[in-house]
Structure 1
Amino acid sequence: MGITGRRNQEIYDVVGIGFGPSNMSLAIALEEHGASAPQHPVKSHFFERQPSFGWHRNMLLPSTTMQISFLKDLATFRNPMSRFSFISYLHASNRLVQFVNNQDFFPTRHEFHQYLEWAAAGLRDKVTYGAEVTSIRPVTEAGSSTPNLLEIEVRSGDGTTSVVTARNVTISTGLVPRLPEGVTSDERVWHSSEFLSKFNTRAPGDLKSVMVVGAGQSAAEITRFLYDSLPHAQVSAVIPSYGYSVADDTPFANQVFDPDAVDEYYFGTERARDAFWRYHRNTNYSVVDADVIRALYQRSYEEQVRGGDQRLHFRNLTRVAEVERVGSGARVVLHSLLDDRTEELAVDAIVFATGYDGLDPARLLGDFDQHFQRDAAGRHRVERDYRLVTASGLTCGVYLQGGTEHTHGMSSSLLSNIAVRSGEIADSIVLRRTERELDLNHPVAEASSAA
C-alpha cells in the first residue's frame, strides 16, 4: 500500500469529498469562475466512492416525478446562462421543444437522473470514481505558524492509498439510511435506499405478502409500485400517523426554500428558527404529494367497488414493534396506537421507508474534528459561507454541503438551493485565497515603498 508524499504533489485550492449533485454544482461553479477569470483558475478535484455516477438509483420508480421545478437544477439559480442547466441538457438531447409541449414544471425522476448523468459526463476530468476518502489531517506549510494545508488520504478500489493536498475540502457524502433500532437490512428486510436493487433480485411469485413502513413520499411511492407490480400480492402500508399527510407545495410555503430564506434563518432568532420548523415542516418531512395520495386512495376505493378479496391494507397509527427473520420471510409484530393491541404478520419482504440521518463530519475528520467549534447542543458551528468555525488558528477550510439544517435551514439537504449555495462556497474559497495572497505580498509591497 503506497502513499504518495505531499511535497511532490500539486496543492489544490479545494478537494471535494463525494460527487453527488451538491459537489457537482460546486465543480460547475468553479469551472465557470475559471472561464470568467482564466488568469486565476481554481485548482480542484473530487473523489467519489461509487464506481460511476448515480443518484438515488433505487428510487427511480416508473412515473415518479421530481418535487421541485426543473429550474432548480445544478446551475440556473446562480447562472441562468450556464451550459450545465437543465434547459441546456434538453437542447443537447433534442427534446427542448417536446419538453415545452409537455407543459409540466416537474420532470420525471428518471429524466432528471439522465440530466445529472449528462452533467457528470461533462465534468469527468474533475472527478475520480471508485475512490474513498478515509482521513483528513491538517499540516503546516513551511513558513507558516499554523496549519494551513490538509492532507487527504484516498483509498482506491484496488486497495492502494494515495495522499492529495489541498487548502480546503468540501464534504458532500450524502445521508445515511435510518432503520429502527434493532433492525438490520438483508435479502428480505430492505431500506428504501436499496429498494429497486433488492426488489429486482426476487422473482415476483416469491413476493406474496409485502409490507411498507413509513409516512413519507418514498413510502407512498413504494406502496403504489408494489401494488401495481405484484397483482397477486397482499400489500400492507404501516403508517405511524392517521393516514398520509399532504405536502404543502403552495407558493408562500415554498418560500422557505428560497435563497433569501437562508439568510433569514441563519441570522434569525432562536424563536424564528423554531417557527420555521413548527409551521413549515409539512413542506418536506413525512408528507406525500397530493397526486400520489389520491392514486393510492383510488386503488383502495376501486377494491371496495369491485368487492372480493382486498389486497391493499392501510394500518394507521401503527408502529413496528419487532422484526424477526423466519425462513424465507420475516415475522413482523405491529403495535396499534388506536387500541394498544399487537398483531403478528408473516411477510415475504418488508421495506422501511424511514428516512435518513445526516453524516456527522466527525466520522470523517477523526482527531482533526477537535479543531472545530460546537454549539450547546453538540452540533458543529458553521459560518454563513458553510465553512466550519475553527477553534484554533488553522487557516485551511472545511465546508459542508448538507448537514446544516440547524444553521442554514430547511433547504440544506435538498436540491432547491444547491446552485446558489455552491456559488457562495466557490466565492468564499476564491475570496479567502485572494486575501491570503495579499497577505503574502504585503511585506514585499512595504519593502518596495520603503526603498
Structure 2
Amino acid sequence: MANTLPDVVDILGVGYGPSNLGLAIALEERNARVPAGDRLTSMFVERQPGFTWHPGMLLPGATMQISFLKDLATQRNTGSEYTFLEYLSQRGRLTHFINLQTFFPSRLEFHDYLTWAADKVAADVLYGSSATGVAWTGEHFEVTVDTSEGESRTLRSRDVVLAGGLTPKLPAGVVTGERVFHNHRVLDHLEGLPAIRHQRFVVVGAGQSAAEVLAHLHERYPGAEVHAVFGKYGYSPADDSPYANRVFDPEAVDDFYTSSPQLREQLIAYHRSTNYSAVDLPLIEELYEREYGERVSGDRRLFVHGASEVSTPRETGAGVEVSVHHRPTGRKNTLLCDAVIFATGFQPLDLRAILGSLAQDCRFAADGTPEVHRDYRLRTAENVTGGIYLQGGTEHSHGLTSSLLSNIAVRSGELVDSLASRAMLDAVLTR
C-alpha cells in the first residue's frame, strides 16, 4: 500500500471484488486523462488476504455464463489495457482462445483474468481488513477498519463506495458444520470432510450452481450416490436468448430506473429465468442423460428429486441425516450422508449493519430497500453531504445487473463520472 495518500481520500471503497476492481480501473484511466490537480485519490479495504473471486466455486470445467466481452473495461473503453483480450495477449493465449470459437471462457480462466487485472492496476488496497462501521463527521466519512492482526484504525474519505459482496443464504434452521455447508466454498469443504463413509451426498437447490455441484460430485466420487433436491418438478433452462439478454444491456438500467415500482416487479418476474433458479440447457441435458443411462444399466447413483424438500439436516457421529419429502405424495426417504450442500443463493450486504447509526440519516422504502439515485448514490438527509454509493443491493432500483458481472465496465464509468463531478463541485464550494 502506498504511503503518499492524503489524510482524507476522495473515495474509500469497502470490498475489493470485481465491482470495486472495475471502479479502480476506471479511476486509473480517468486520472490518466486529467491534470494532476484534478485527479481523484482512492483507497480500498478488503477482508481477504489478497484478491480472489469465489475460489471455492472454481469447479473443473465450469464456464462463465456471460460473454468475455462483458469484462472489466471493454463496454466502457475498447482501447483499455484491462480488457480480457489484452489479458489473453499478455498471457500468450490470444490465438489459442480464438481457436476455441467461444464467447464463454472457463470460470478458472476468468478468475485468472480478474487476478491479472488486480495485480496490474495501481490501486491502494488494504487487504486483510474488514470495515465494521461508517460514520459522518459533518465534513467527511470515518470508516472503522479491523485488521486481521487484531488492530483497529480509522480511515477518512469524502465519499464511500460499498461493495461488500454477497452473503450465503441458508434456509431457516440450518446450521453449518463440517458436513453441512453452502456451495460458495464447496471445494474447500469437500477437502476438509472428516471421512467419506456413506458414499452419499445431497445437493439442495435448482440453479446453475446446484447443477454444477451435482455434476462435480457425480464425477469426483465415482462410487457415491448423489441426490438433488428442489421444489420444482425439474431443472428449468436459463433463458440466454438474444432478446432476453437485453435486460442486461446498459440501456436497460435507465429503462428500469425510470419505471414504476409495479413495472419493475413485472420486469424482474418476466426475466428471472435469465439468472435465478435456472440452469444452462446443455448441463440439464447432460445430467438427464447420465441419470437415464444409470436407469438402463440398473446401477443408480444419480437421483433428482423434483417437487421435494429436505428436512433440517442433523449431524451425527456417523455423518449427517436428512429426510427427503416428496410433496405431491407425502413420501419420505431418510438418507445418511457424507455431506449436505445448500446451493440456495445469496443475499446482499446488510446495509443497516455497516451504516449503524448513520442509517437513520439514510432513506429506506417501506419494504426495507434503500432509496438510491440513478448514479447508485444512497439518498440521505441534507446534513450528509458526502456520497454513499452502492455496488450491489440495488436490484430493486437498477435491475438484474445490480450484483452481476454484466454491467461492471459501464457502471464503473458512471460511478467515476458522478464521483468526479461531486469532487469538482466540492472544490468550487470550498474555495
| Range of TM-score over shorter length | over 0.9
Q: Name the stretch that deviates more: 227-236 or 325-334.
A: 325-334
Partners of 1:75 and 1:352 in 2: how far apart?
A: 33
When residues 124 and 187 of structure 1 are mapped into structure 2, their CA distance, relative to the original with a 3 A threshold, is farther
Equivalent residues of 1:17, 1:133 under 8 A apart: yes
* 2:90 matched residue in structure 1: 92
> 1:367, 1:339 → 2: CA distance?
50
CA distance in 1, matches of 2:9, 2:422: 14
Give me the CA root mean square deviation: 1.4
C-alpha separation in 2, matches of 1:207 and 1:262: 49
Please name the residue that 1:19 is paired with. 16
1:158-194 residue CA offsets vs partner (Å, 9 max, x unmatched): 1111111100110111111011111111110011012
Report deviation, 1:383. 0.4
Gaps of at least 5 residues in structure 1 are: 1-7, 140-146, 442-451
Residues in 2 aligned to 1:276 and 1:387: alpha-carbon distance in whole angstroms: 23
One-letter amino acid of the structure 1 residue matched with residue 154 of structure 2: V
**C-alpha deviation, 1:282, in angstroms:** 0.5
Residues 1:370 and 2:360 aligned together: yes
Q: Please, which of 160, 163, 169 is the counterpart of residue 154 of structure 2?
A: 163
How many residue pairs match? The answer is 426
Which of 53, 68, 71 is the aligned partner of 2:69? 71
Q: Give the Cα–Cα distance (whole angstroms) in 2 for the partners of residues 418 and 227 of structure 1.
A: 34
Structure 1 residues 207, 403: CA separation in 2 closer, same or farther (over 3 Å shift)?
farther
Contact 1:11–1:165 (CA under 8 A) maintained in structure 2: yes
TM-superposed deviation, 1:320: 1.3
Q: Does residue 1:122 correspond to 2:132, yes or no? A: no
Provide the residue aligned with 2:217 in structure 1: 226
Pick which of 205-214 and 80-89 moved more.
205-214
Which secondary structure does the structure 1 equivalent of 2:313 belong to?
Answer: strand
Offset from partner CA, 1:124-169 (integer Å, 9 cap, x none): 6421110111111111xxxxxxx23001111111111111110011
Measure, in 2, the Cα distance between the counterparts of 1:29 and 1:205.
Answer: 47
When normalised by structure 1's length, the TM-score is 0.92
Residue 306 of structure 2 is aligned to residue 316 of structure 1: yes
Question: Is 1:58 aligned with 2:34?
Answer: no
Helix, strand or coil: the match of 1:167?
A: strand
Structure 1 counterpart of 2:139:
148
Match of 1:404 in 2: 394
Q: 1:80-137: per-residue Cα shift (whole Å, max 9, x none)?
A: 1111111110011011111111111000000000001101111364211101111111
Cα gap change, 1:230 to 1:204, in 2 (>3 Å): farther
Tell me whether 1:433 sits opposite 2:423 in the alignment.
yes
Q: Distance in 2 between matches of 1:398 and 1:130?
A: 23
CA deviations over 1:200-221 (Å, ceiling 9, x no partner)? 1237744501110000001000
Cα distance in 1 between the residues matched to 2:313 and 2:195: 22
Structure 1 contact 404–412 (Cα < 8 Å) conserved: yes
Q: Is the 8 A contact 1:322 1:334 kept in 2?
A: no
Contact 1:27 1:126 (8 Å CA) reproduced: no
Instruction: Indicate the residue corresponding to 1:37 in structure 2.
Output: 34
The equivalences for 1:201-350 within 5 A come to 201-202=192-193, 205-206=196-197, 208-305=199-296, 307-350=297-340
Contact 2:178 2:194 in 1 (8 A): no
Taking the aligned partners of 2:312 and 2:146, their CA distance within structure 1 comes to 38
425-434 vs 122-131, greater mean Cα deviation: 122-131
| Structure 2 Cα separation of the partners of residues 391 and 203 of structure 1 | 52
Report which stretch shifted further, 98-107 or 389-398.
389-398
Q: Report the secondary structure of 2:282's partner residue.
A: helix
Structure 2 gaps of 5+ residues are none
The CA distance in 1 between the partners of 2:326 and 2:61, in whole Å, is 32
> Which residue in the other structure is 1:448 paired with?
none
Q: Which has the higher Rg, Structure 1 or Structure 2?
A: 1
Partner deviation per Cα, 1:329-349 (whole Å, 9 max, x = no partner): 111022221212332211111
1:196 aligned partner: 187
- Give 1:354's aligned residue: 344
In 2, the alpha carbon distance for the partners of 1:223 and 1:197 equals: 16
Change (3 A) 1:129 1:234: same
Identical residues among aligned pairs (%):
46
Out of 286-295 and 195-204, give the one that drifted further. Answer: 195-204
Among 57, 79, 82, which residue is 1:81 paired with? Answer: 79
* TM-score with structure 2 setting the length: 0.96
| Amino acid paired to 2:17 | G
